Chains A and B, each alone.
Chain A
Amino acid sequence: MTKLILSTGNIVSGGPSIIRKPGGYRSNLELTNSLRSNFLAAQQDFAADAHADDDSAVALNGNGNTNGNGLHHSGRTPASVWTAQEEGALYVPRIDWSLAGLQEEPAQYDITVKLFFLPTAAVAGRAQHAKEALGLVLRELGVKEVNLLVMSFPGMSFEGDCEWEADRLNAKQGDDEEEAATWPAIEDLHRQGLVRNLGIAEFGSEKLARFLKKVQVRPTVNQINIKNCCNVPPPLVKLAKEQGIELLVHSDCTDILSRGTLRELLGPGIRGAGLLADPETGGDGLKGDLAPQWVVKYTAVVRDRGVIENKGYFACAELTEE
């Protein structure tokens, strides 16, 4: 089994991938577009590096036995060039950790991290996943703690004809038991001082009331999705107010990375990164079943200036060879 760690890098200056399209709210396009563009950029960057190395090789032995552009004969940059095997995981693309960190003192930032547990991952792995995901974010931002960690559980949404109905539908979604069972691991991160506040996403009034009864460290934030109508159902407003939980807006979908999307991103197709083997041609590449495990989104905002300095995603997938 191989673990893959995908990353977008800092996407705030990422151009089109961060731009909203009309009707495009609540989507995973930002994630998929920025992964795709980071893969492409890394392939170009490292191909250029490889090219530079080739040139020096030519100068040394003069045999000129290279393809001259750092590209594999398939026309793609070889995976070994732009990805890296490190500490038991394949980093796609490879990450130069020496560039990690924020520009100013950590105290200047509001850092929000949102962890998406995915339906394609085993519930038993969540404690490990949370630790791993948060660890990557802390490393990437060069900080020791974050202000807010929001948990997004699979199979939940806050949709329907206006928020009234959303609240009603929401009550039956997700899996109360699994969510409650996951929470102690998240509370641990808080107790270890890695996370100042905890949050959840897409909890309607009924689910939230049930959830609060089962937890020790209570969430201070509940992210909900609002459409054009700004009517938050009164029961949820009331409950949140009583419990001191802030209702924040988000526009992510919970099932943010599906198996199919991931295969397309990494696959041999024209919009893929060419990391997976092409079953048609039987060419090189990774083979096997690819299951998304989790996605984490992080945002570092300079607190008293409202400037987003760093935003990005990591995603983890497991490849089980057949």
Chain B
Amino acid sequence: MGKENPAAEKASNLLRSRLCDPNFVVKHLSDSPDSNYSKLKFLVSSSVTEACNNSILLLGPRGSGKIAVLELILTDLLLEYPDTISVIKLNGLLHSDDCCAFKEIARQLCMEHQLLFSKMASFDDNSQFMIEMLRECGLAHKTIIFVLDEFDLFAQGKQRLLYSLLDAMQSVTSQAVVIGVSCRLDADQLLEKRVRSRFSHRKLLFLPPSKEDMQRLLEHILSLPVDSSLPHAYAVEFNKKIKNILADGRFKEIVNTLVNLDSTVNHLLRFLFLAVSYMDLESGFLSFENFKTALSNSHRQPKLECIKDCSILELYILVCLKRLEVKEQNSYNFNSVMKEYKSIHDSFQTSDYYSRNVCLRAFEHLLQRELICFTDNRGYSQSVEFRPVKLLISSIELHQGLKSYCSCPVILLKLVER
């Protein structure tokens, strides 16, 4: 590595921080009037101003920017109505347990209103406290916004949290908005009847950005600001090169393959991050090759890699298992593999015939690589040789893997092909 260009370093830092910050991307996508941003913002701000209760679900695949949009709206609203909003954030991964969730709500409410939070408070105390607070806030015309991330996880169990929240919102005195965020599109179907009847059934779907949006987004993310601490000439040059790359047909093809695999914004960002990390810091410009290597590196085939990692003996065992599978024996274990291995050796006189111990170790390596696994979880009393196993790769994968293996014995390929 030669001396590095300080401007390039700065530029790469800037791009990386942009790519790690979903808000930056969302801000760009949110200016159109029929975007989710404007819809949600209108809904929340109207319920704040009109002092009514509301509930809504934000649905969309993982990484489509639901939380980022919501965060953006909440920061905007907090600036607009600083005194009349308090936000309570819960996450299904952390607070799916009702007791834990009420405690967290109480803690955040106490923090918000400078009250003393008691760790020892019971479940009933906390839920009572929440309902009291809802009423008090309603009387003071303050809106409490509940954000429930991973909403589907709250729908496990007895749904007491959801019930008491939505039930409290039925009264005129309270003033609250419940926003559920989930990547399960059927999240509202998971609700119990008593909860569902209290829910508003408003849903907001997050769709992947259109092609034009994608193109604009790419340009927005990758071009450097001209009026900043970066050298002006460098930034202009950089932007020109990016524009050229973006207009390139080959680049569009890359973006197409990406979108075909997974069209969420997050997926695109990860890809761009890889590309930026490949940027040559000496010249300081992104090149088309960067994007190409990023594409090939972001889509790996772990099973094929695993087969490539195997030693020849391990391949033999895999092929034996495959043959046993083809023979439709109902279950097989190490002993039957050894029998098969011996029969292969007897009929073809291979040079790779090793003792049982060595094969057993190779077998254990395969277990560690998770190319094979035990069919039962309980048989701990049995030793490894006797526990039935199954193959975790398909015959096509095995065949492909053997073909790409650089010094694979010919006999193995023959055995698989038959």
Q: Do A and B come from one complex?
A: no
